Amino acid sequence: MVRYRPMPSPSSSARMWLRPWASGIAKSPDGNNDVLWSASPTSRSFTLCNAASPVPSASTTMRACRSSAAHASSRCLLMVGIPVFHPHHCAFPVLGATPTAMSKRSQQIDAFFRQGQQFHMAGRLADAEQVYRQVIAASPRHAEALHALGALALQSGNAGVADTLLTQAIALKPAADFQLTRANALLALGRPEEAAEVARSVLRARPSSAEAQQLLGHALSDSRQPEQALEAYRTALRLKPGLSDIRNNLGMALRMAGRLEEAEAEFRQAPPAPEVLVNLSSVQKERGAFADAEATLRQALEIAPNNPVLRYNWALLMLLLDRTAEAWAGWEDRFRSGAIPPRPFRQPQWLGEPLGSRTLLVHTEQGLGDVIHFARYLPAIPGNVLFEAPPRLMRLLGSNRAMPPMIPLGTAPPRADTVIPLLSLPARTRIVPAQPPYLFAEPDRVAAWKARIGTAGFRVGITWQGFSGRFEDKGRSMPLRNFAPLAAVPGVRLISLQRGEGEEQIATAGFPVETLPGLDDGPDAFLDTAAAMMALDLIVSSDTSVAHLAGGLGRPVWVALRRVPDWRWLLDRPDSPWYPTMRLFRQEADGDWAPVFAAMAGALPR
């Protein structure tokens, strides 16, 4: 099986083209051979046809794959030599007919089903879907048709519908290939533990199934168990050395385990397809081998120059290397690559031309830190502008009276003539953004927090933990215990600005960390944190939204960065072009925070 998972988020410094997220094994139309199908992320829309069967509703809109040369791992197999039935003109003998008629009817249904498989593997998904539904309407217990329709739904991006269909098929015929397809659906639904159990159940019956071992590796990888995933992948490789994409899978698991040199070696043993090369380049980038990463991406782009995943990875590398002129075209491919879901706006995209009397809607994307970072562009857009903002940030952003009118994300957007994503503003326009401070704390809150925090000592607000559930957080956050050198500096008060995950580390830190009960307990994000920052002498943060907030307020802020950071922090410089009051402290070796905090402690006033 070849899988490919949608990439994390465009703010990450390392983009991965993983494995096709939808794939499976099905019988060929002649019934004699197993064939592989897999989804391509390049897709078009169609709507499921109606059917008088216990199949999910015809109103369910699905996404359908279309073949793309850029996705070398996606295969559409066309079997020939089968009688062709037009999907719109097929009649079967009625129920209650003679045994001879019923036998003929069964043969016709099976032949018609095989025609649907032929359509499916030829990429004619709408025709295949219609055939499968007609077969199910004529024979509601046709397990193969239910499985094929479920596989098509999974391939088309509707894993929920796929799971329902596949569960029905398995109830009629608990075939191993049916169960493995359902395990893929469970992975697509974010249920890797259930997928692993399905794979294990298949292995109990078929211990030599390389495909089941590979799928188990996918499930363990998605469960953040890279070492166990490696064991499953290696077993799959031993059982079937030519198993499709297995070297790529091994490379990704090794990368997840932090074994980058071994990951690079595995990728180099895989066929040099674009999806392998982009993973190889990402590992090279994480290792700091930027020239190698660039060369690998160039090689991939020579094979598939219009592939959006490659173009987006190229943009991220160019941004990190401060070669922005080479980056912005590919930056716009973050939507086509699957990194960011595109928004279904009907209005034309704004490309930076004069607005005239038109109204522009700037819509939000990505995380709160990204919004805080790029909100600087909003006050500088000339003309009639509306900004669709995360509701929790509206009050903070509204502290700048030059901000355009805002509407909350999640509500029906107002009428607008043209639209643009927030993070596309620097790519499509020559707008000069506002310089910090472009955010402001509320005066009453500032006074209240100044009174609570007091004036004693050198007051350092600290945060250390982002959301660990995000791929991008790997390597960014650090344990609180790393702040010990700062706590040891005479006169320094460490004051926690950490909220939620990570707060539990305070009790076992081993040094004093003051807390601020009630900080941002209300529905609005960062109002108290912004006010508290105005009462602090310094903020020290990991790469989180708190660092962007401090920079946007124009407060002194030090940021601890992993060795190869997110693109916006660039390389080999102690300052940030985005935030004049920010100082950057960089790792010299992956995972080694001790020199970073020793340098910070040495830089603190005494």
Cα 182 from Cα 388, distance rounded (Å): 38
> What tokens does 1 get?
């099986």
Q: Mean pLDDT throughout 486-509?
A: 96
pLDDT at residue 105, rounded to an integer: 78
Return the amino acid letter for 558: W
pLDDT at residue 234, rounded to an integer: 98
Tens-place pLDDT, residues 203-217: 999 999 999 999 999
Is 489 a residue whose pLDDT tops 90? yes
Q: In sequence order, what are the residues at sequence separation of 6 or more whose Cβ sits closer than 8 angstroms to the Cβ of residue 161?
A: 48, 56, 60, 62, 150, 153
Is 25 a residue whose pLDDT tops 60? no
pLDDT at residue 308, rounded to an integer: 97
H or E stretch covering 166:
helix 159-172
Task: Look at 472 and 165; give whichever has higher pLDDT.
Answer: 165
- For residue 18, CA distances in Å to 224, 232, 283, 564 come to 14, 17, 12, 20
Is 78 a residue whose pLDDT tops 70? no
Quick one: three-class SS letters along 409-449? CCCCCCCCCEEEEHHHHHHHCCCCCCCCCCCCCCHHHHHHH
Which residue ranges make up each domain of the chain?
1-190, 359-428, 443-603
Closest C-alpha to 232, from 246, 242, 548, 224: 246
Do the Cβ atoms of 540 and 261 come closer than 8 Å?
no
CATH no., domain 443-603: 3.40.50.2000
The count of other CB atoms within 10 Å of the CB of residue 151 is 31
pLDDT at residue 475, rounded to an integer: 86
Is 60 a residue whose pLDDT tops 70? no
Least confident of 13-22, 140-149, 473-482: 13-22
pLDDT at residue 30, rounded to an integer: 39
Phi, psi of 585 (to 5 degrees): -115, 120
Cα 66 from Cα 19, distance rounded (Å): 17
Q: Mean pLDDT throughout 405-415?
A: 91
Q: What is the DSSP letter of 358?
A: P
Tens-place pLDDT, residues 255-278: 999 999 999 999 999 999 999 999
Cα 60 from Cα 48, distance rounded (Å): 6
Is 2 a residue whose pLDDT tops 50? no
Residue whose token pair is 């993983």: 18
Compute the mean pLDDT over every residue in the chain, rounded to the nearest whole number.
85
pLDDT at residue 21, rounded to an integer: 33
Cα 48 from Cα 61, distance rounded (Å): 6
The count of other CB atoms within 10 Å of the CB of residue 572 is 7
pLDDT at residue 99, rounded to an integer: 60
Phi, psi of 390 (to 5 degrees): -60, 130
Q: Mean pLDDT throughout 501-527?
A: 96
Is 45 a residue whose pLDDT tops 50? no
Q: Mean pLDDT throughout 456-470?
A: 91
pLDDT at residue 101, rounded to an integer: 56
Residue whose token pair is 């932090």: 258
> What tokens does 328 get?
């912005």
Residue whose token pair is 């004069």: 354
The domain made up of 1-190 has a fold known as: 1.25.40
The percent of residues in the chain predicted with pLDDT above 90, rounded, is 77
pLDDT at residue 325, rounded to an integer: 94
- What is the Cα Rg of the chain in Å? 28
Residue whose token pair is 């700062």: 486
pLDDT at residue 98, rounded to an integer: 60
Closest C-alpha to 440, from 541, 555, 522, 326: 555
Is 76 a residue whose pLDDT tops 50? no
